[in-house]
């Protein structure tokens, strides 16, 4: 089983719909992240959480919200999806000390039509 | 504001050749420089990382060269193999933080 699991793996949704992407991890890490990947733009940080009570905005948080339900679960919501949110979304985790390896999930390919 | 600039965007290398990917940064507070490898349909995975107290780190066929004064670091893949065909991302993070700032990525194709 994967250490970082994202659901769904693929999703097509309509403009204006609310959608939630979920992430769960079995690595026991406190820190979790949501990234967005677009061709030619690399990976950009949307939100991150250093523990259950901590939520921080990243580089591109507008139009997104997150919820840290437990140490192992971190979900990303698009309140009202728009076509330019079509992208590949990755959840990642890392240990609590600085400058450690980030472990990524398999990704969720989201298409907004 | 792009804090980590990566080049080239794409690269084709013949099997057995050397692949070189370069990154430059502006933030002098960066003190951790990893490289991630991503295969199609997969999430990125850590390949190799370096801290600024050394100028070079080698792991197998993969080497990071680091030039602190020039604020540049590069990944060298020796004896490149078709299985190395992937997207490579350089990244950096500041002391005291664990959020990574990524470059835009390089798509490497190693031709047989």
* Percent of chain B topping pLDDT 90: 87
Q: How confident is the model at residue A101 (pLDDT cuts 50, 70, 90)?
A: confident
Tally Cβ neighbours within 10 Å of residue A5: 16
| Chain B hits for A104, Cβ within 8 Å | 43-45
- So what's the pLDDT on residue A1? 62
The predicted pLDDT at position A81 comes to: 97
Tell me the pLDDT tens digit for each residue of A52-79: 999 999 999 999 999 999 999 999 999 9
At residue B95, the pLDDT reads: 73
- Ordered strands of the A64-70 beta sheet: A4-7, A19-25, A73-78, A64-70
Mean pLDDT score, A15-34:
96
Kindly state the greatest CA–CA separation across chain A.
Answer: 40
Residue A23: pLDDT over 70: yes
pLDDT of residue B2: 61
What's the pLDDT at A98? 66
Q: What is the DSSP letter of B2?
A: -
Say whether pLDDT at A97 is over 80. Answer: no
What's the pLDDT at A96? 79
Least confident window among A83-92, A102-111, B25-34: B25-34
CB within 8 Å: B105 and A33: no
**Residues of A in Cβ contact (< 8 Å) with B89:** 42-43
Which three-class secondary structure state does DSSP give residue B35? Answer: strand
> What pLDDT, on a 0 to 100 scale, did the predictor assign at position A100?
79
What are the chain B neighbours of A101 within 8 Å (beta carbons)?
34, 46, 49
The tens place of each residue's pLDDT in chain B, 112 residues long, gives: 568 999 999 999 999 999 999 999 999 989 999 999 999 999 999 999 999 899 999 999 999 999 999 999 999 999 999 999 999 999 999 876 678 999 999 999 999 9
Subunit contact B89:A42, Cβ cutoff 8 A: yes
Residues of chain B neighbouring A42 (CB-CB closer than 8 A): 6, 89, 102-105
Per-residue pLDDT averaged across A87-97, rounded? 92
CB-CB under 8 Å, B100 with A106: no
Secondary structure, 3-state, chain A: CCCEEEECCEEEECCCCCEEEEEEECCCCCEEEEEEEECCCEEEEEEEECCCCCCEECCCCCCEEEEEEECCEEEEEECCCCHHHCEEEEEEEECCCCCCCCEECCCEEEEEC
Question: Who among A40, A98, A101 is closest to B9 (CB)?
Answer: A40
Q: Which residues of A touch B (CB under 8 A)?
A: 4, 31, 33, 35, 40-45, 48, 50, 58, 90, 92, 94, 97-107
Instruction: Report the residue from B43, B93, B99 with minimal CB separation from A90.
Output: B43
Chains A, B: CB contacts within 8 A come to: 63
Tell me what pLDDT residue A64 has.
Answer: 97
Nearest CA in chain A to B47: A101
The β-bridge relationship of strands A4-7 and A19-25 is antiparallel
Contact at CB, B32 and A99, closer than 8 angstroms: yes
The residues that bridge with A44 in the sheet, in sequence order, are: A36
Percent share of chain A, pLDDT over 70: 98
Taking CA–CA distances from A94, the nearest residue in chain B reads B98
């Amino acid at each position: 089983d994967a250490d970082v699991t994202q659901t769904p793996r693929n999703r097509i949704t309509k403009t204006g719909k609310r959608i939630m992407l979920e992430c769960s991890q079995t690595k026991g890490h406190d820190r979790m992240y949501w990234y967005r990947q677009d061709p030619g733009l690399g990976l950009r940080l949307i939100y991150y959480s250093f523990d259950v009570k901590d939520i921080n905005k990243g580089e591109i948080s507008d139009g997104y919200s997150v919820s840290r339900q437990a140490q192992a679960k971190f979900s990303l919501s698009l309140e009202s999806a728009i076509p330019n949110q079509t992208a590949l979304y990755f959840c990642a985790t890392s240990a609590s000390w600085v400058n450690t390896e980030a472990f990524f999930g398999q990704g969720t390919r989201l298409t907004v039509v | 504001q792009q804090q980590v600039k990566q080049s080239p965007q794409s690269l084709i290398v013949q099997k057995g050749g050397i692949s070189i990917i370069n990154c430059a940064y502006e933030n002098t507070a960066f003190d951790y420089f990893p490289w991630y490898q991503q295969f199609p349909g997969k999430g990125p995975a850590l390949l190799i990382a370096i801290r600024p107290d050394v100028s070079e780190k080698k792991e197998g066929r993969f080497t990071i060269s680091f030039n602190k004064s020039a604020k540049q670091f590069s990944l060298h893949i020796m004896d490149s193999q078709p299985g190395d065909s992937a997207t490579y991302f350089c990244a950096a993070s500041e002391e005291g933080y664990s959020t990574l700032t990524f470059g835009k990525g390089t798509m490497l194709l190693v031709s047989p």
